[in-house]
Chain A
Amino acid sequence: MELIENHDAQFMLLAGFIIAIGLVITTVMLNSVIFEGNMAIGAGNDPSKNEMVNLMQITKDETGAAYRNTSNTSMLRNKTIADFIYQTQNFRDNLSTIYALNGDGVNLSWNVSNWNNSNYAYFTDNGMANGAAKWIVIQNVSSSNITVNVSTGSFIINVTNTTNSSKYWTITLSGGYQSFNSTNISSNVPPPYSITFFNAAGATGNYSINGTASGKAFTRARDYILYANVTFSTGRVKADITIPISVPW
């Protein structure tokens, strides 16, 4: 009661402080509200580039695997291609389901006309006419077997000793099958050696090189260039991409 009856203005001071602090708090809060209101902008989700890269890579890998599985058999070509289409369609259906679970749409289709019509690939690095005409197929080879079938034009394979570039063997290839085994090559160039294609843009055909390089078994081979068409769609992105795929490797 004494406090209430005391006229020294404690309550007035207290009220003054409370009002002052209240004003400061209100002003800061209102400022924050305006700032947040102005900043109300949605960030949104950006599509992952990795998804596209993965999609292209697994399509490439699966196409190569399906070709190798089917072309190893001695079936007729149309039967082999039908088997390839069956395998790739199975892959396509599974892939579409997996992407659909993430809310993305994926559709794949393949163009096998090069295979169907025996249009062999160029001997360039990427198998197409615009690829590099001079390229190293493999280096540091200790033994290898080379089989080449030139369909059109002519090109050169250069086998060069890795340590002494003056020791090399130039093979000019034009038309038909030619095969060189490890003994043939070693008698001309002592291993280790590198195998380089020259003038590769002027010739088409298929090749297969296998053996040992840097202590590991390797296979380099190409028959055809097949085309895979990939359509990818998410809520924001729609893409239609065609990628060439060298088969069997």
Chain B
Amino acid sequence: MGFRKLLKNEDAVSISIGFILMFSVTVIIFTATIISFYSLSQSNEKTTMGATFKIIGAGLATKITTVDTLVNITNSYGGTVNSLEYEFSMPASVADKSYSVNLTNSTYQIIIQSDNGAITYTPLNISANFNAVHIYSGAENYKLTYDKPSNSLNIVEE
């Protein structure tokens, strides 16, 4: 009987308690939403950095291969490349984080890494000598050059 009475009782709580309850519930729901969204964006950030690093690595590998191909095409004509420069730019930051690009000539890979753990490896295939270099994203503008005496490719910051 008591439960029935409670169901039919329309007094509920006072306006002040009702407001406090509603306010608390709203705050809790919003906090929960924001926290879940934030954690979602964190994992999203790493995923997008990985995807962007892949694009940067593939683009860089293409540029190096382009220069290497131009050198080899010229050689196939019996010619010599006196100088060859290819300017390119990379974003200063990805997802608001700086990163480093390690171009190795031991395993011929482009390793792009950020301090939040995002890392990608892009294979590199060239015939000319390649001087290993470790560059950092801050410079933004870089130059890929061919050195005729040593038949080698270099990357320098502009």
Interfacial residues, chain A to chain B (CB-CB below 8 A): 23, 27, 30-31, 34-35, 37-44, 46-47, 49, 52-53, 56, 60, 126, 128, 229, 236-244
Q: Is B125 an interface residue (CB 8 A)?
A: no
What residues on A are CB-neighbors of B56 within 8 Å? 41
With both beta carbons as reference points, the residue of chain B lying nearest to A19 in the complex is identified as B29
The 9 closest A-B pairs by CB, nearest first: A243-B79, A38-B48, A38-B95, A240-B82, A240-B83, A238-B85, A239-B84, A236-B87, A243-B77
What residues on A are CB-neighbors of B82 within 8 Å? 229, 240-242
In angstroms, Cα B93 to Cα A41, docked, is 10
Q: Which of B16-24, B65-73, B105-113, B127-135 faces chain A?
A: B65-73
What residues on B are CB-neighbors of A27 within 8 Å? 33, 37, 40
With both beta carbons as reference points, the residue of chain A lying nearest to B148 in the complex is identified as A240
With both beta carbons as reference points, the residue of chain A lying nearest to B40 in the complex is identified as A31
A30, A34, A237 — which one has the most chain B CB atoms within 10 A of its CB? A237
What residues on A are CB-neighbors of B62 within 8 Å? 46
Shortest A6–chain B CB gap in Å is 17
**Sample (20) of A-B pairs whose CB atoms are under 8 Å apart:** A27-B37, A35-B48, A37-B95, A38-B49, A39-B52, A41-B91, A44-B59, A52-B74, A126-B78, A229-B82, A236-B87, A239-B81, A239-B84, A240-B81, A240-B84, A241-B79, A241-B82, A241-B84, A242-B79, A243-B74
In angstroms, Cα B21 to Cα A11, docked, is 21
Number of interface residues of B (CB under 8 A): 36
Asked if B74 and A241 sit within 8 Å, CB to CB, the answer is yes
The one of A42, A46, A126, A243 in contact with B63, judged by C-beta atoms closer than 8 angstroms, is A46
The one of A42, A43, A128, A236 in contact with B86, judged by C-beta atoms closer than 8 angstroms, is A236
Asked if B66 and A41 sit within 8 Å, CB to CB, the answer is no
Q: Is B44 an interface residue (CB 8 A)?
A: yes
What residues on A are CB-neighbors of B151 within 8 Å? none
What residues on B are CB-neighbors of A239 within 8 Å? 70, 81, 83-85
A56 with B78: in contact, given A31-B40, A39-B48, A49-B69 (CB under 8 Å)? no
Q: Is B55 an interface residue (CB 8 A)?
A: yes
What residues on A are CB-neighbors of B152 within 8 Å? none
B63, B66, B79 — which one has the most chain A CB atoms within 10 A of its CB? B79
Shortest A247–chain B CB gap in Å is 13
